[in-house]
Structure 1
Amino acid sequence: MIEKRNIPMATLLLGGAALVLFAAEKLRPLRRQTQDEPSRTFRNAAMGALSLTTVSMLEKPVLARLTRLVEERRLGIAQQLPVPALARDALAFLLLDYGIYVWHVLTHKLPALWRLHLVHHVDLDLDTTTALRFHFVDMAVSVPWRALQVALAGASPRAVQAWQTFFFLSVLFHHSNLRLPEQLERRLAWLLTTPRMHGIHHSAARGETNSNWSSGISWWDRLHRTFRLDVPQQRIAIGVPGYRDPNELRLGPSLALPFGRQRSAWDAPMVIRAD
């Protein structure tokens, strides 16, 4: 007899949110798309499938054991506080989110990590499918960092599950090409990373890319003075100057990109911004 397995509620939530955002951004696009569809969507989805498989195989079992150990032995910052478990979980949630801000900065600043993260940034458009376009090795090398985050923050299984659900929803949202009313988005940006914020981060102008590193809560950019919301989306050319050939964005070249000879992503002629 075949055993029935229920689909986790978090998986249903993420899948539903992805479909809603994917449909909404087609109805209310923030930026003009430049690449051919549906080939781009299929390509990004294939890369996303590889990345999610890597996370499932490597990160989930590590964090499942580690979070139990953290809670049982009261390890990490949050677990040291003489406060209710809910308060400890809330602090761990914030520390995990700040840790992702730091990791994101490192993926741009350290050449070895940038080789991998570049695969995400070379996409010439930005939408919900870009949220899936991460190299699977990029996901693999982030596992030790995630484990360090959990151990230092003192994150319980509850805190990690809550933060992971929030984080993946946030990644889908701020990568989306959804045009929200500008005043509403400016208010949201006091708390959350928004599509206009992240559009600036994906700009081919390096000074703009070096901003808006937050991936969930936007406070960290304000704290480090890296917050920007002053660039009109119509002026932004998505991508990096050194990789503008659409043929290089195909699945095979994208997977091979980190392991071949690298050319500078930024020492290239100025990219003409979108109309």
Structure 2
Amino acid sequence: MKASWMATVAGAGLLGASALAILVGERRRPLRRMTSPAGKRIPVNLALGALSAVAMAAVERPATRALARTVERRRIGVAQALALPPLARDAVAFLLMDYTTYVWHVLTHEVPVLWRLHLVHHLDLDMDASTALRFHLVDMVVSTPFRALQVIVSGAGPRALEAWRGWFLLAVLFHHGNLGLPARWDRRLAWLLTTPRMHGIHHMARAELTGSNWSSGLSVWDRLHGTFRLDVPHDEAPIGVAGHGGGPGVAASLRLPFVRRDAWEPSVVPTR
């Protein structure tokens, strides 16, 4: 119990320090010039992020934690079926969680009902660490059955699940960050990780670019499936979704998935 508590505190400290480093880096060496007032968009992102966090804490986290304990106890899933030491099984489960998150991200773009929810994330007209928090709370609830399936298939026990959660949050904050890493560093990191330049291409307001770079952690999945791109300058196209002149506020963002049909057509929802 004491070791588990210490690991939790150490993980939280590492995550906090890393988030602070990303925030400082965004201000000292930004990748893109911001186009909309931070005082307007960041509070909206934080509010949507808070609502999503509440939804996850109420629905997704309790369900997957209980399921992970069952998976480990009953030896369910790929990792649990392997004759490997516990840490090696955790590593296999971690990789499968990362890969199946790639699959889920593709589905959120390709399945119309899921895209209408995920669209809220893409409507930010700029990208920084706060964009990583901008999700519709129903998006988080709807993802719960798939997340449960990930745990079952991968065989992720509690330790592997929590390690993946921390990694995922840090990775999402990093690749949404407006971090102007030297181009050669970004290219080298992109062989392994999803980088700010990579994910910036995914957020550009052109459908053919949004249909690339779906990895959320390790970039190998995009390379494996032929969806990797790093050949587009970071200022090639604006961030956002074509047809939306301004990022909607909190209330409009929450209404948006339920009142529009074609996500790439001009919005019929007021921005306030």
Distance in 2 separating the partners of 1:17 and 1:250: 28
Indicate the residue corresponding to 1:255 in structure 2: 254
Indicate the residue corresponding to 1:169 in structure 2: 170
3-state secondary structure, aligned to 1:233: coil
After superposing on structure 2, the runs of 4+ consecutive aligned residues of structure 1 that deviate more than 6 Å are none
1:54-203 equivalences under 5 Å are 54-203=55-204
Distance in 2 separating the partners of 1:129 and 1:242: 22
Q: How many residues align?
A: 261
Distance in 2 separating the partners of 1:217 and 1:31: 23
Distance in 1 separating the partners of 2:38 and 2:80: 48
Per-residue CA deviations over 1:93-116 (Å, capped at 9, x if unaligned) read 000000100000000000110110
Matched, 1:265 2:263: yes
Counting aligned pairs with the same residue, the percent is 57
Indicate the residue corresponding to 2:219 in structure 1: 218
Change (3 A) 1:10 1:46: farther
CA shift for structure 1 position 267: 4.7
CA shift for structure 1 position 11: 3.6
Change (3 A) 1:74 1:99: same
Per-residue CA deviations over 1:40-84 (Å, capped at 9, x if unaligned) read 111111111111111111111111211111111100011111111
CA shift for structure 1 position 174: 0.2
Distance in 2 separating the partners of 1:48 and 1:15: 17
Distance in 2 separating the partners of 1:44 and 1:267: 22
CA shift for structure 1 position 250: 1.0
3-state secondary structure, aligned to 2:64: helix
CA contact 1:70–1:156 (8 Å) conserved in 2: yes
Query: Which segment drifts farther, 12-21 or 22-31?
Result: 12-21
Distance in 1 separating the partners of 2:141 and 2:23: 26
Query: Which segment drifts farther, 232-241 or 216-225?
Result: 232-241
CA shift for structure 1 position 9: 4.0
Distance in 1 separating the partners of 2:139 and 2:170: 19
3-state secondary structure, aligned to 1:31: coil
Query: Which segment drifts farther, 117-126 or 35-44?
Result: 35-44
Distance in 2 separating the partners of 1:19 and 1:44: 17
The normalised TM-score by structure 2 is 0.92
Indicate the residue corresponding to 1:273 in structure 2: none
The normalised TM-score by structure 1 is 0.91
Distance in 1 separating the partners of 2:157 and 2:251: 39
Indicate the residue corresponding to 1:234 in structure 2: 235
Distance in 1 separating the partners of 2:49 and 2:67: 25
CA shift for structure 1 position 8: 4.2
Distance in 1 separating the partners of 2:143 and 2:128: 23
CA contact 1:177–1:195 (8 Å) conserved in 2: yes
Given residue 266 of structure 1, which amino acid in structure 2 is its aligned partner? Answer: W
CA contact 2:125–2:246 (8 Å) conserved in 1: no
Indicate the residue corresponding to 2:270 in structure 1: none
Indicate the residue corresponding to 2:27 in structure 1: 26
CA shift for structure 1 position 144: 0.8
